[in-house]
């Protein structure tokens, strides 16, 4: 899966690039779909941008973004061949390897997972390690069996007794100053400040050692093997979409987001974009020099090793089957940054 593209594919890509530079398309529009993992939001903005501004069409693609949500099953649709690409995660694809399901990450839009822990601003919590001083930590079961296990292994004072189930309602956290709560950098802090009138302390797990890629472009090994040119064009066009979304006119993309998710507000979108930029969620590490979507063997291995350390993945897992770097780190779209 990690071999370079065939000569035939390379010639096809060269022909496409030449035609695009001349303002024409070497292909009829290939219809593909991308399933997200949650309701439409700014965190999906680059994909909507590439639809809205014609970038996908420029690359010979007709793309449908299928939003996720509580009742959605986009990952299952990918496995069943009903969608072509999905917003997966490294842990999800490692699990797929373990289960013999042929899924593979081909790009990482987020260099940092936006998962955070939040604390009250007046409790003397200044560092990530200080969170262990609190009595309670509200988090979901997925966090409890992954990053909380990592926290217990790497910091003193985090115990199972502190764990409290998080029901995606911030009221218990707001009411208890001796508690912390999980959240998404671009979401919960904004909502808590609206409800409580104060801004919580924010600790990004990615800046404190727990640092998987996130917001992946995931597909099937069959797609990579049979249509590498389509995969390459989707990855490249999506990268351009993200540059245009972050640094260009994103109104049309935001209109599409609000059409899919009518509860989304302009204030939330503005806040999310600001935080993605401030914390380097999309652009940091290798993506700064090699372009949005970049992945490296070193970082993927580091996360795998962390999952082995806490017993989430077996040490003998062939985790390299979960990803390929052949489509990324080529600097595509970097000239669009303003």
Q: pLDDT above 90 covers what percent of the chain?
A: 90
Strand partners, 165: 139
Residue 270 CA to residue 126 CA, distance in Å, equals 27
Residue 14 CA to residue 17 CA, distance in Å, equals 5
| pTM confidence score | 0.90
Q: Does domain 7-112+212-336 have CATH number 3.40.190.10?
A: yes
Residue 10 has pLDDT above 90, yes or no: no
What separation in angstroms does the CA of 126 have from each of 185, 187, 285, 327? Answer: 17, 21, 25, 40
What b/e string do you get for 53-74 counting C-beta neighbours within 10 Å, with b at 16 or more?
Answer: bebbebbbbebebbbbeeebeb
Residue 41 CA to residue 74 CA, distance in Å, equals 16
Q: What is the mean pLDDT of the chain?
A: 93
Residue 173 CA to residue 118 CA, distance in Å, equals 9
Give the per-residue pLDDT at 70.
87
Residues 6+ apart with CB under 8 A from 96: 102, 103, 322
Residue 249 CA to residue 110 CA, distance in Å, equals 21
Residues 6+ apart with CB under 8 A from 321: 1, 97, 104
Tokens of 294: 């970049």
Per residue in 262-319, pLDDT tens? 999 999 999 999 999 999 999 999 999 999 999 999 999 999 999 999 999 999 999 9
Q: What is the CATH number of domain 115-208?
A: 3.40.190.10
pLDDT tier at 28, thresholds 50, 70, 90 = confident
Residue 3 has pLDDT above 80, yes or no: no
DSSP H helices, the chain, are: 7-21, 45-52, 55-58, 74-79, 90-99, 141-145, 147-154, 171-175, 188-196, 221-226, 228-247, 251-260, 266-278, 287-290, 297-309
Residues 6+ apart with CB under 8 A from 175: none
**Does the fold of domain 115-208 match that of domain 7-112+212-336?**
yes
Residue 174 CA to residue 200 CA, distance in Å, equals 9
Domain ranges of the chain: 7-112+212-336, 115-208
Residue 14 has pLDDT above 90, yes or no: no
Q: What are phi and psi of 137, to 5 degrees?
A: -130, 115
Give residue for tokens 């496995």.
Answer: 79
Residue 23 has pLDDT above 80, yes or no: no
């Amino acid at each position: 899966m990690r071999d370079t593209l065939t000569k035939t594919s390379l010639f096809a890509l060269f022909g496409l690039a030449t035609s695009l530079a001349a303002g024409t398309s070497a292909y009829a529009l290939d219809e593909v779909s991308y399933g997200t993992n949650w309701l439409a939001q700014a965190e999906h903005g680059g994909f909507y941008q590439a639809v809205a501004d014609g970038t996908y069409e420029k690359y010979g693609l007709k793309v449908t973004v299928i939003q996720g949500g509580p009742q959605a099953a986009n990952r299952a649709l990918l496995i069943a061949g009903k969608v072509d690409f999905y917003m997966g995660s490294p842990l999800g694809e490692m699990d797929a390897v373990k289960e013999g399901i042929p899924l593979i990450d081909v790009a990482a839009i987020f260099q940092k997972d936006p998962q955070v822990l939040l604390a009250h601003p007046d409790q003397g919590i200044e560092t990530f390690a200080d969170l262990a001083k609190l009595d309670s930590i509200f988090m979901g079961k997925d966090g409890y069996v992954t990053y909380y296990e990592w926290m217990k292994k790497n910091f003193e004072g985090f115990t199972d007794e502190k764990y409290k189930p998080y029901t995606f309602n911030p009221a218990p956290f707001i009411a208890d100053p001796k508690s912390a709560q999980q959240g998404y950098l671009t979401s919960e802090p904004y909502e808590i400040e609206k409800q409580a009138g104060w801004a919580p302390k924010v600790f990004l797990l990615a800046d404190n050692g727990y640092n998987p890629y996130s917001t992946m472009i995931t597909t099937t090994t069959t797609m990579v093997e049979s249509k590498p040119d389509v995969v390459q064009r989707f990855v490249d066009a999506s990268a351009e979409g993200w540059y245009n979304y972050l640094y260009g006119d994103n109104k049309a993309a935001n209109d599409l987001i609000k059409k899919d998710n009518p509860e989304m507000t302009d204030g939330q979108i503005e806040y999310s974009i600001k935080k993605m930029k401030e914390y380097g969620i999309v652009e940091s590490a290798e993506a700064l020099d090699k372009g949005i979507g970049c992945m490296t063997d070193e970082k993927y291995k580091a996360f795998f090793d962390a999952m082995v350390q806490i017993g989430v993945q077996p040490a003998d897992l062939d985790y390299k089957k979960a990803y390929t770097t052949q489509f990324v780190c080529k600097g595509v779209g970097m000239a669009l940054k303003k």
